[in-house]
């Protein structure tokens, strides 16, 4: 029987399966924090199936904020011992019904490209591959000791300065300028045609997350102009993520993305971090080149499969 998540009873089991599905650590506190400030225009539904007291299958459907195609992102996973019983199908069908309730027009799921079973499951559910993305990881302990200084030198040679925003809150005045840079950079990302550009309200709200509070934004400035920046997140569970990197169009081709990433990765190492993770779309060649130069090692790709939702 499919049930809604009861955080007081099933959250630990739900998060265990979430980690299995997404390979992302999330603590109970972080989950509750995100849900407490979830905006009405980005609704989500968490579902699970229990056997006795154990959560054996779980999934979530989330309306992607500001998506021009009203995309509902979903993930579904089932414990190995309970597969081939139709549990995943039942949860995804329920999520699809929920997507219709909230006005979704497209359902998208992600799964590792190497998982043949997931590919077959997506196909049987009417989902077709749409794009590839992959996670890369950087061994911070192997970075040259002068990496941060090299990044600063790139900025100084162009008359630019570094501004570190840490910690920031949704009320931080400089988020106006940072969002302007974020918006311009995101317009040129391959996934923008599918998801759209995040609104300023959503962008600001993220700075309430404890992962943002523990991290920092590293910004190359040209007088009062924000030229390039990168964002480091540090989850309560200990995962370090390079969340976003962008350069204003007028400043591209000058190595600024590389510079701020050098500075940010050195900072992460100085904080005691050992592994830094990031995501890339397979078509984002400029950022892929920057990450390879830094030493990021790619993991196997993830497939995004999608289907149109009929009303």
Mean pLDDT to the nearest integer, 242-247 = 93
Mean pLDDT to the nearest integer, 185-205 = 78
At the topology level of CATH, where does 2-104 sit? Aminopeptidase (3.40.630)
pLDDT reported for residue 237: 77
What CATH number belongs to 136-300?
Answer: 3.40.630.30
Mean pLDDT to the nearest integer, 165-174 = 90
- The fraction of the chain above a pLDDT of 90, given in percent, is 57
Q: What is the pLDDT of residues 104-159, one digit of tens each?
A: 888 999 888 888 888 999 999 999 998 888 789 999 999 999 999 999 999 999 99
CA torsion 9-15-20-23 (nearest 10°) is 180
pLDDT reported for residue 202: 80
pLDDT score of 190 more than 80: no
Q: How high is the mean pLDDT of the chain? A: 89
- The pTM for the full model equals 0.76
Of 4, 127, 124, 106, which Cα lies nearest the Cα of 58?
A: 4
pLDDT reported for residue 57: 97
Q: What is the pLDDT of residues 1-48, one digit of tens each?
A: 899 999 999 999 999 999 999 888 888 998 998 888 787 777 899 999
Of 267, 263, 260, 268, which Cα lies nearest the Cα of 287?
A: 260
Q: How many C-beta neighbours within 10 Å does residue 82 have?
A: 14
Q: What is the pLDDT of residues 48-75, one digit of tens each?
A: 999 999 999 999 999 876 555 688 889 9
Is residue 69 within 8 A of residue 14, CB to CB? The reply is no
- The fraction of the chain above a pLDDT of 70, given in percent, is 95
pLDDT reported for residue 18: 95
User: Residue length, the chain?
Assistant: 311
Residues of the chain with CATH 3.40.630.30: 2-104, 136-300
3 state SS for the chain: CEEECCHHHHHHHHHHHHHHHHCCCCCHHHHHHHHHCCCCCCCEEEEEEEECCEEEEEEEEEECCCCCCCEEEEEEEECHHHCCCCHHHHHHHHHHHHHHHCCCCEEEEEEECCCHHHHHHHHHCCCEEEEEEEEEEEEHHHCCCCHHHHHHHHHHHCCCEEEEECCCCCCCCCHHHHHHHHHHHHCCCCCHHHHCCCCHHHHHHHHHCHHHHHCEEEEEEECCEEEEEEEEEECCCCCEEEEEEEECHHHCCCCHHHHHHHHHHHHHHHCCCCEEEEEEECCCHHHHHHHHHHCCEEEEEEEEEEEECCC
């Amino acid at each position: 029987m499919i049930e809604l998540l009861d955080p007081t009873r099933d959250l630990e089991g739900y998060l265990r399966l979430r980690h299995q599905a997404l390979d992302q650590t999330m603590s109970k506190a972080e989950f509750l924090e995100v849900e407490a400030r979830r905006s009405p225009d980005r609704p989500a539904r968490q579902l699970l199936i229990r056997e006795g007291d154990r959560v054996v299958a779980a999934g979530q459907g989330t309306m992607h904020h500001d998506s021009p195609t009203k995309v509902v992102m979903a993930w579904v996973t089932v414990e190995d011992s309970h597969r081939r019983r139709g549990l995943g199908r039942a949860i995804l069908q329920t999520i699809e019904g929920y997507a219709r309730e909230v006005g979704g027009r497209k359902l998208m799921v992600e799964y590792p490209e190497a998982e043949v079973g997931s590919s077959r499951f997506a196909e049987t559910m009417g989902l077709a591959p749409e794009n590839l993305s992959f996670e890369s990881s950087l061994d911070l302990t192997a970075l040259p000791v002068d990496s941060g200084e090299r990044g600063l030198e790139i900025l100084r040679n162009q008359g630019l300065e570094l501004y570190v925003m840490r910690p920031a809150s949704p009320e931080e005045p400089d988020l106006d300028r940072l969002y302007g840079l974020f918006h311009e950079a995101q317009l040129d990302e391959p996934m923008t045609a599918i998801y759209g550009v995040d609104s300023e309200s959503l962008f600001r709200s993220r700075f309430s997350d404890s992962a943002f509070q523990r991290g920092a934004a590293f910004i190359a400035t040209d007088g009062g102009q924000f030229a390039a920046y990168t964002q480091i997140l540090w989850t309560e569970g200990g995962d370090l993520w390079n969340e976003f990197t962008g350069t204003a169009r007028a400043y591209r081709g000058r190595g600024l993305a590389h510079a701020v990433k050098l500075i940010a990765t050195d900072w992460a190492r100085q904080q005691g971090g050992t592994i830094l993770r990031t995501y890339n779309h397979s078509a984002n060649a400029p950022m892929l080149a920057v990450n390879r130069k830094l030493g990021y090692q790619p993991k196997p790709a993830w497939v995004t499969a999608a289907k149109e939702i009929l009303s």
